[in-house]
Amino acid sequence: MKRKSILTGAVLLSIIYSFAVVGTIVLGAASVIYFFVGQNVQIINDLFLPLISPFLIYGKIWMLVFIVLTIIASIFMLVLSTRFMKYSGIGKELFQKKKSMMIFYLICLILAMGGYAYWLINNILSFGFNSNLVVNVLLTVILILHILSFILFAFGIGKEVNPIILQETEKELSVVKTERRPAIYTAGLDETVEEKKPEENVKEVKTVKHLEESVSSKKLVESIGKLDQMRKEGAISAQEYTKLRSQLIRKFIK
């Protein structure tokens, strides 16, 4: 199955970080050239200094360290986007198993958004938005695309919660309905059974039916309790909780 929201967000991120990986590698090559011959060759100094000047705050050595870390981060985010592409088409059971990994990726995406937001705000507060217009516009576009991707990922992951919960609770109820009579009611069947009066047979049937309904009702209450807990934790909304609870009650009545 295809999860279009997750796939769309992954495509947006992959486009951004495909360019980012290429750009950071070019920036890394420029920094290495500048490190060795930048001060001796004026044309190299004029060409590369505007690109790498933000990384020269703490000196040339730290410039190389920062650029290497930037390249690694860009590659990691590209891999993250391809992972989400893969997760958009896997089955429900495997998707559920990968949920913890996807949450980790979402945290990394939030950290990336925080970094871009800090960079943009620092530029605006220090020099003004128009002082470095191209960079600030680019950061704004990248930040907006990251936020959009995050919303699409969160929506796609959250959308999978309801069908999974409903499937599990339905399974529990179906198991209850197909349970056989407890052993206490089948004990002694191999022995000679005395004939019972019709009134006694009706009474025993009512007792067994009442027991089965009690167990089934207990399962239903437990299932509704799970939905209520998820509503309190914010995993599902109040409207989704009401809808799922009504579905469970209808299935129980059937």
pLDDT in tens, the chain (254 residues): 578 888 999 999 999 999 999 988 988 888 888 778 766 666 666 666 666 776 777 777 888 888 899 999 999 999 999 999 888 888 888 888 888 888 999 999 999 999 999 988 988 888 788 877 887 888 899 999 999 999 999 888 887 655 445 555 555 555 544 444 444 444 444 444 444 455 544 554 454 444 445 656 777 777 778 877 887 877 777 777 788 878 777 776 65
pTM as predicted: 0.59
The CA–CA distances, whole Å, from 1 to 96, 118, 192 equal: 14, 38, 57
Tokens of 241: 């909780």
> What is the dihedral sign for C-alpha 186, 187, 188, 194?
negative
- Closest by CA to 13, choosing from 76, 66, 67, is 76
Report whether 89 contacts 3 (CB < 8 A): yes
Report whether 219 contacts 171 (CB < 8 A): no
Report whether 26 contacts 84 (CB < 8 A): no
Tokens of 74: 């860009």
Other residues' Cβ atoms within 10 Å of the Cβ of residue 213: 12
| Rg of the chain on CA atoms, in Å | 31
- Quote the pLDDT of residue 35: 79
- Quote the pLDDT of residue 183: 46
- Quote the pLDDT of residue 146: 93
- Quote the pLDDT of residue 32: 84
Report whether 17 contacts 71 (CB < 8 A): no
Report whether 85 contacts 5 (CB < 8 A): no
Report whether 236 contacts 161 (CB < 8 A): yes
Phi and psi at 190, nearest 5°, equal -75, -20
